[in-house]
Amino acid sequence: MDLQTEKLLEKYWRGETSVAEEKMIKTYYQQYPDESIEASYFEKLNTEASKKPGRSFEHPGIKKRRIWLSVAAAILIGLISIPFIINSEKSPEPYAVEDPMEAFEVTRASLQMVSNGLNKGKIYSKELIKFNEAKQIIKKQ
């Protein structure tokens, strides 16, 4: 073993090496295997790192429970939505109007309702104008 490798090993055991330096040590022991403790350590490290974990832990009942909950939720949604679908087919649309004169009256009534709401807003805007005029008079004095 050369002097540079020994210095790198000392740094490694102190925990001061970089990733590149660790790779240099590992490749050195792969190229020049010997019977030292360090060589067997790095060999074991390489074999353990290359192993894949056998199986991850899974709770035995979670997967089955999720499937059953999904099925139950789908059935529940279906049962809840059936009355709404049946009622929507039976009742005619409330705003469906066949007669043109009746449609005109419905439209006129809805536009009148919007107009009344806008007129109320006009009253409040007049009060705001008075408020702003008073504010301007106070600022001038």
pLDDT band, very low/low/confident/very high, at 132 (cuts 50, 70, 90) = confident
pLDDT > 70 fraction of the chain, expressed in percent and rounded: 86
Span 25-53, pLDDT tens digits = 888 888 877 777 888 888 888 787 777 77
Q: Contact at 8 Å (CB) between 8 and 25?
A: yes
Of the candidates 22, 17, 31, the residue with the CA atom closest to the CA atom of residue 49: 22
CA-derived radius of gyration, the chain: 42
